Amino acid sequence: MKSESRLLIGAMVMLGFAASALVVIPYVQVANVAPTSGMKPYTSTELRGREQYISNGCLYCHSQQPRAASLAPDAKRGWGRASVAGDYAFDTPHLLGTMRTGPDLLNIGARQPSVQWHLGHLYQPRAYVPGSIMPSYPYLFVIKAQAEPGDVVVHLPEGNAPAGKVVVATPEAQELVSYLLSLDRTHTVREQES
């Protein structure tokens, strides 16, 4: 090899092949796909909760892409049908995830619609799921001697709240839960979309 320009042009052509396969063609094919029927854009509270989901790194342990029955028993675990591109029409950035240290969350809002469960579970996951290795998030809560008007008090299972105190959810915790509850892609998918 005697010519550096031929080398670099060749190298860029190679990268161009890769970029057209993995970036350009998908952009043409799915970037502007229509939302699946029945989906609504996120509310501003839910979007702020989504920011909490990102900033606390939830996506590193939870995927948001149930797989088809031919590949994995995701549906049997109650995680929902295999997702399609239209399910993510409102998702920027995408949060598909790569790990299932914890369960898939694309339909957690349908599977567990209780605000109190989610708040308590964020405060101390092991109070609800023995053996869970999810971190607890005490910094999303305030411990008070007494609840004040307007406070959202978390009702924890016996023995998990600090003695004589109440656990109050911060706005961040409430927003995060409202995002989790919005995760519901159980509406049916038309044949041509699947």
Residues 87-126 interacting with another protein (rule: CB under 8 A) = 87-89, 91-103, 125-126
Query: Contact 145/18 with Cβ under 8 angstroms?
Result: no
CB of 139 to another protein, least distance (A): 5
Segment 136 to 155, residues that bind another protein, using CB under 8 A: 136-139
Number of residues that bind another protein (CB under 8 A): 75
7 is an interface residue for another protein by CB under 8 A: yes
| Rg, C-alpha atoms of the chain | 22
CB of 28 to another protein, least distance (A): 9
Angstrom CA distances, 71 to 66, 75, 82, 117, stand at 10, 11, 10, 31
CB of 52 to another protein, least distance (A): 8
Among 41, 76, 148, 158, binds another protein (CB under 8 A): 76
Q: Is 16 exposed, middle or buried (0-12, 13-18, 19+ CB in 10 A)?
A: exposed
Q: How many residues does the chain have?
A: 194
